[in-house]
Chains A and B, each alone.
Chain A
Amino acid sequence: MGHPLAIYTGRAVELGLTFGGSEPKASTRRAIDASRDDDAVLVDAVARGDARALELIYDRHSRGVYSLSLRLLSDSTAAEEVVQETFLKLWRHPNAYQPARGRLLPWLLGVAHHHAVDLLRRRQLEQRHRATPNGDATSDALDTLGLPSPDDDPQIHAGAFDQRVAITRAMANLPIEQRLPLELAYYRGMTQFEVAALLGVPLGTIKTRMRLGLQQLRRVPELSVVWGER
């Protein structure tokens, strides 16, 4: 499946969530730079009050934002609310996005994640999601957390999501003591205190493991070349 951006730019390249591959080609890099520039241009237009520009941004990135929100909340109504709030924030405060500090989609996902976690905590939905730390709590939690295995994900199986494969594999390759805090925090919306309590590990250790886990993920070649390059 091609990314919606291809519809508007006419570029036959895979962008956004479908980028990737072990060694991105120069043409892909150029297309990524162009995509970033396009997003920046669109956000500039939003800042001038151009609703059509926001519409284009929605068409490009709403799927990613909705998917993350749904993954966190397991509630389509709440996920739609998060999507709406995320794009409204861009409309109301376009200055909050700074192109010099990264691409637009990560920023939108960050906004959506924050909204979703806020909803989770406010509605105490986490009680429905959290694993109870008893018995083999760690392995139980791991079984019900995070991303599906690349082998189990039909979309990945279809071969169209190289970057997702890379991230999923990178997550799977993390030491379990780093992977668990990341997944509990990011996909379950748990605070660092809750993670420390759940895993029975000092708070300082949890902070360090979160930091090491993110640094380890950052080293994934596809991530550094395509996603995070500024």
Chain B
Amino acid sequence: MSDRATLSCEEFVDLAAAVALDAADDDDARRVEDHARTCRRCRAWLDEFRTTAAAMGAAVPLVEPPASLRARVLESVRQEPRPLPFARRPRFSLAWLAAAASFIIAIGALAWVAMLQVEISNLQNSIQVASDRAARFDRVVNVLASDKLSVKPLQPAVAPPSSSGYVFLDPNSGTGMLMCHDLPPVEQGHAYQVWFVRGNDRISAGMLWPDRSGDGYTMIQVPADLQSFDSIGLTDEPGPTGSPWPTTARVMGAPLR
């Protein structure tokens, strides 16, 4: 008897003939089946031997089975649980395998495209942020480069003494910039609103969103008749658009005259 690990194809062929004739023991039959599962050529040998052995079976004189046997067999089948539908193992053709592979590749490609789209969208957002930032810097540069530039230091009103800031005003372009340091924190959803003050008039010039340190800057709209205004100030107002009229005390400010 050959060892399982050393069962060669030559040994297989002799043993397979005995297995096909049901002349081998169960252990040899198992070894032959195991080998046949891994060797297509030997699988073909085993199938050939079994078919030929069955031909010997078909050569015996024919005898009609008793009619009662038919009824008994069919009755025993009816009493058996029915096989589950679709229990037969599907026979995958190369075409099916190719189709399945194509489907998987297509799904992978779609997932990859979706991932790329998300990445592109993120990049587009980053580009937009950078573009906005560059535009703001351009406006800042334009303000700072103006020959009519007016710079006013901001003084704390109710803000801590450490709070400071400057306002840059360019009447030529109607644009200005306001930057602050150490502003008191505001509630979530609140921001500082910038006002131009003239008598009892209060003209909103823009919103300032300080960071966690209380620092920040913002571009503001400068009225054409800037010289008619008395001062500029900041109040704590609800964002994002601010209030039509100051609702809190001035935090910082600067006289314009």
A residues touching B (Cβ–Cβ < 8 Å)? 17, 43-44, 46-49, 51, 54-55, 58-59, 62-64, 66-68, 70-71, 76, 80, 83-84, 87-88, 91-92, 94-95, 100-103, 105-107, 109-110, 112-114, 117, 147-148, 153, 155, 161, 163-164, 167-168, 171, 182, 185-187, 189-192, 195, 204, 207-208, 210-211, 213-214, 217-218, 223, 227-228, 230
Contacts and interface: CB of A to CB of B under 8 A. Distances in A.
Given A84-B72, A102-B51, A207-B14, A155 B61 contact: yes
B91 interface: yes
A211 B85 CA distance: 40
7 contacts: A43-B88, A88-B73, A91-B83, A106-B55, A112-B57, A167-B56, A214-B52
- Top 9 closest pairs, chain A to chain B, by CB: A47-B88, A106-B54, A66-B65, A211-B17, A49-B82, A185-B23, A167-B59, A207-B14, A109-B57
B22 interface: yes
B83 A49 contact: yes
Nearest to A88: B76
A213 B55 CA distance: 13
Contacts of A113: 22, 53-54, 57
B41 interface: no
A105 B54 contact: yes
Contact of A64 (B58, B86, B91): B58
Nearest to A226: B55
B17 A210 contact: yes
A230 B51 CA distance: 10
A48 B21 contact: no
Given A68-B60, A195-B23, A211 B83 contact: no
Contact of A218 (B21, B52, B62): B52
Interface string B178-204: 000000000000000000000000000
A109 B57 CA distance: 7
B50 A17 contact: no
Contacts of B85: 48-49
Interface in B21-61: 21-25, 47-61
A112 B58 CA distance: 12
B28 to A, nearest CB: 9
A44 B85 CA distance: 10
B66 interface: yes
Interface of B: 13-18, 20-25, 47-66, 69-70, 72-74, 76-78, 80, 82-89, 91
B60 A228 contact: no
Contacts of B57: 64, 68, 109-110, 112-113, 186
Interface of A is mostly: helix
A83 B22 contact: no
A94 B83 contact: yes
Nearest to A210: B17
Given A55-B74, A207-B18, A64 B62 contact: yes
Contacts of B70: 58-59, 62
Contact of B87 (A47, A64, A167, A186): A47
A44 B22 contact: no
B50 A106 contact: yes
Contacts of A100: 91
Contacts of A191: 23-25
Contacts of A94: 83, 87-88
A204 B10 CA distance: 12
B88 to A, nearest CB: 3
A147 B59 contact: yes
A91 B76 CA distance: 10
A228 B55 contact: yes
A59 B15 CA distance: 34
Given A48-B85, A70-B63, A191-B25, 9 more contacts: A47-B86, A71-B61, A80-B66, A80-B69, A105-B54, A106-B55, A153-B61, A195-B23, A208-B14
